[in-house]
Amino acid sequence: MNDTESKVNVDTGAVCTCVSKDYLQAILPVLKNHLLQIEGIQFSSASNNMYPFGILDTNLVFTNPEGSVRIKTENFVMDNSISQHIIFGNYYLNIYGIDINSHKDRYFTIGGNKRQKFAFSNMPKQISMVSSKKDTYEEGFVANRLVEAQINPPLAPKMRNELIDVLYTYNNAFASDNE
């Protein structure tokens, strides 16, 4: 994103492209200088309501040895999202003809060009410049999602932290009472 390596989740169920404010500030520290303000728009994900912070125009570049593809995108910056990646929604999948569903191999194409294939890379679990933010994301997860959880008090601190790490890693598997 804008010459900064970023982790992107291609989400066919997401209508728009969005990114968490915290993740964006980690990779683009001058965030506030480039935001378009928005008001009166409501968003929701599968797990909760999302609160928009603004819109950021960016360029996403899909690299390929045979020729990279640059896509201009509008990213909705979400104030309360804890994701550590950009969510690339189906709006741009449709506009740019990105096909990710019909292949036995792990690649995708853009614009129907079957000769130019982009491989899905095996990304490390964390990108180094964002890994320092993990504690902040995890604290937000504990404060917002585990607020009603009752963890056995006699658990040793190390065991409690390991349990929270596992719960945080698989946090997409949980839903609240109203979901």
- pLDDT tens for the chain, 179 residues long, are 667 788 888 888 888 889 998 888 888 777 767 788 888 888 887 778 888 889 988 888 877 777 788 888 898 999 888 888 888 888 888 787 777 655 556 666 777 676 777 766 544 444 333 434 455 667 777 777 776 677 777 778 888 888 888 887 877 776 666 55
Q: Is residue 110 part of a domain?
A: yes
The answer to whether residues 52 and 110 belong to one domain is yes
User: Which pLDDT belongs to residue 123?
Assistant: 43
The answer to whether residues 33 and 94 belong to one domain is yes
The answer to whether residues 109 and 70 belong to one domain is yes
Q: Is residue 2 part of a domain?
A: no
User: Which pLDDT belongs to residue 128?
Assistant: 38
The answer to whether residues 81 and 169 belong to one domain is no
User: What is the domain count for the chain?
Assistant: 2
Distance from C-alpha of 102 to C-alpha of 77, rounded to nearest angstrom:
30
The boundaries of the domain holding residue 119 are 8-125
The one-letter code for the residue type at 75 is N
Distance from C-alpha of 125 to C-alpha of 134, rounded to nearest angstrom:
11
Q: Is residue 147 part of a domain?
A: yes
Q: Is residue 35 part of a domain?
A: yes
CB 58 within 8 A of CB 32: no
User: Which pLDDT belongs to residue 103?
Assistant: 52
Q: Is residue 69 part of a domain?
A: yes
Distance from C-alpha of 149 to C-alpha of 174, rounded to nearest angstrom:
12
User: Which pLDDT belongs to residue 133?
Assistant: 47
Return the CATH number at 50. 2.40.70.10
Q: Where are the alpha helices (DSSP H) in the chain?
A: 21-27, 90-95, 128-131, 134-144, 157-169
Q: Indicate the pTM of the whole model.
A: 0.54
- Which element (helix H / strand E) includes 47? none
User: Which pLDDT belongs to residue 135?
Assistant: 59
Q: Is residue 3 part of a domain?
A: no
Q: Give the domain-ending residue among 125, 146, 161.
A: 125
The answer to whether residues 89 and 151 belong to one domain is no
First and final CA of the chain: distance in angstroms? 32
Distance from C-alpha of 58 to C-alpha of 34, rounded to nearest angstrom:
10
